[in-house]
Amino acid sequence: MVEYDKFGPEKILSVYDAKTGMRGFVVIDNTSLGPAKGGIRMTGDVTIDEVAKLARAMTWKCAIAELPFGGGKSGIIADTHKIDDAKKQELITAFAAAVRPVCPSLYVAAPDIGTTKREMETFAKSNGSNKSCTGKPKTMCEGTACGIPHELGSTGWGVHHATLVALKHQKRDPKKITFAVDGFGNVGSFAAKYLSENGAKLVAVSDSKGCVYNPDGISFKDLNAVKKKTGSVINYKPGNVLKSSDTPTVACDVFIPAAKADVIHAKNWKDVKATLIVEGANIPIAHDIEVELHKKGVLIIPDFVANAGGVISSYVEYIGGSEDDVFPLIEKKIVRNTQLVLDTMTKKKIPPRDAAMQIAIERVKKAKKSNNRR
Ligand code: NAD
């Protein structure tokens, strides 16, 4: 059941195309700050309820990143492992045409689970506007405005900056810390790369096959080569191979979840050794467990603060900026807002997620008030 409150959802559009069998929906959570921004999730079991929760998270993420976007998300019910590419593009084409009443006027799409830059190209072509989505391929241009794919590593760049700000807050030198990363995909691999380049020692990395752990340090360059060549981080040597689920509790100073939700839970949170957790993944820790960790003295930079790099990159693409504008803007916004969250947390003596929520809610309320006055 979708839950409604004073912030939204403002609109839910459910669409069906009899010819292709496409079934999907768009949830526009809140547009106080601008058109609702959020990805298209394409899975066999995606629901309006799930998409509504993700759309709300986007409302807070865009607000905390100071972007002129509201929050939205959409879903297409299709198991991408069971359909071929032609069918996938057919469904996207039908979906893009069906959501024209709200896209791009009120909703701007992006990639999410099951969709990539290829689907964004198909979506924009069928919708008829390059403004209908971001995360398009570099080669898709309108005048000087070209696509900026998420595959460039923008989110990992932002996660690494959030980590540096948090380490400074803890008065720790990045060169003297060890860190572990759960998930070596888009977010995790770039976060690992940039933190390694700052002199931090990578001691554990996992993917779906397992976790490689070496307290003496893992070379990012060699690890990346091993992952590319063999398909998994567990083939990196030297190192001990553990289960993926062991990653959150290995001995390290900083833990970066960058794969699945709920990796730290009721059964393992007491064994967490890290004193700083920077959430690259969405909802890697249930909120009540975050509070317990906070009481234990663990600093947690919440997901919607730390992993906003992707949506900041989307904003640059949306306004016709170039790839060169993306990384400096992410750095500026993530550094400023992570610092603001930490200052608010310290001043009000509240957990960082509560501090971030207060800031985001205030920004949305202020925009709504000023829209009402117009
Ligand atoms: P990805 O598919 O590129 O990478 C995911 C990685 O997690 C892969 O290396 C995979 O092997 C690994 N993995 C899968 N199951 C695992 C398990 N049980 N244990 C350990 N590792 C496992 O995905 P991504 O784009 O890097 O996204 C990762 C997380 O970050 C997701 O929660 C996503 O919602 C969130 N996120 C991504 C972006 C982005 O721009 N890509 C932006 C914001 C948030």
Entry pTM: 0.96
The pLDDT, as a whole number, for residue 16 is 98
| One domain, residues 80 and 158 | no
What are the residue ranges of helices labelled H in the chain?
A: 48-64, 85-98, 117-127, 154-169, 186-197, 220-230, 287-295, 303-306, 309-318, 323-348, 352-373
Query: Which pLDDT tens digit goes with each residue over 293-323?
Result: 999 999 999 999 999 999 999 999 999 999 9
pLDDT at res. 373: 76
What's the whole-number mean pLDDT along residues 14-23? 98
Residues 39 and 170 in one domain: no
Pick from 113, 155, 190 the residue to mutate for probing ligand 1's pocket: most ligand atoms within 8 Å of its CB: 155
Based on the domain organization, do 158 and 298 belong to the same domain? yes
Task: Report the domain count for the chain.
Answer: 2
Q: Give pLDDT, residue 372.
A: 81
Contact indicator for 119, 289 with CB cutoff of 8 Å: no
Instruction: Report helix, strand and coil shares of the chain as percent, to nearest 5.
Output: 45, 20, 35
CATH code for the domain in which residue 45 is found: 3.40.50.10860
- Domain limits for position 267: 154-308+344-353
Q: List Cα–Cα distances, 186 to 145, 153, 211, 313, 332, in angstroms.
A: 24, 6, 17, 14, 21
Nearest Cα residue to atom 18 of ligand 1: 208
Residue 325: CB partners within 8 Å, gap ≥ 6?
A: 316
Inform me whether the pLDDT recorded for 71 exceeds 90.
yes
pLDDT computed for residue 120 by the predictor: 97
Any idea which residue has 């996992």 for tokens? 206
Mean confidence (pLDDT) of the chain:
96
Q: How far apart are CA 73 and CA 159, in angstroms?
A: 22
Set 37, 61, 73, 201: catalytic member: 73
**Which residue has the least CA distance to atom 17 on ligand 1?**
208
Per-residue pLDDT band at 88 (split at 50, 70, 90) = very high
Based on the fold, state whether residues 143 and 159 are members of the same structural domain: no
Assign 6 to helix, strand or coil.
coil
Kindly list the distances between the CA atom of residue 50 and the CA atoms of 13, 24, 171, 300, in Å, as whole numbers in the listed order: 14, 13, 39, 24
49 and 83 belong to one structural domain: yes
Contact 32, 9 (CB under 8 A): no
Q: How many residues does the chain have?
A: 374
Q: Judge if the beta carbon of residue 182 lies within 6 A of ligand 1.
A: yes
Q: Does residue 67 lie within any of the structural domains?
A: no
- Condensed to tens digits (0 to 9), the pLDDT of residues 254-280 reads 999 999 999 999 999 999 999 999 999
If asked whether residues 237 and 133 sit together in one domain, one would say: no
Catalytic status, residue 73: yes
Peptide bond into 215 cis (omega under 30): no
Q: Is residue 97 located within the same domain as residue 194?
A: no
Calculate how far, in angstroms, residue 303's C-alpha sits from the geometric centre of ligand 1: 13
Between the CA of 187 and the centroid of ligand 1 the distance, in Å, is 6
DSSP label at residue 100: T
- Taking CA atoms, 356 is separated from 29, 65, 119, 160, in Å, by 19, 11, 33, 18
CB 108 within 8 A of CB 132: yes
> Residues 167, 277: one domain?
yes
Q: Are residues 211 and 263 in the same domain?
A: yes
Residue 280 CB–ligand 1 contact under 6 Å: yes
Give the pLDDT band (50/70/90) at residue 371.
confident
- Interacting residues of 130 by C-beta distance below 8 A, sequence separation 6+: 124, 136, 140, 142, 145
Q: Calculate mean pLDDT across residues 8-28.
A: 98
User: From the CB of residue 143, how many other CB atoms can be counted at a distance below 10 Å?
Assistant: 7
Examine residue 142 and state whether it is found in any structural domain, yes or no.
Answer: yes
Q: Say if residue 135 is in the same domain as residue 178.
A: no
Q: Are residues 230 and 288 in the same domain?
A: yes
One domain, residues 45 and 100: yes
CATH code where residue 191 lies: 3.40.50.720
For residue 337, being part of any structural domain is answered with: no
Nearest alpha carbon to residue 300 among 321, 275, 317: 275
Does 63 sit in the ligand 1 pocket, CB within 6 Å? Answer: no
Tens of pLDDT, residue by residue over 109-141, are 999 989 999 999 999 999 999 999 999 999 999
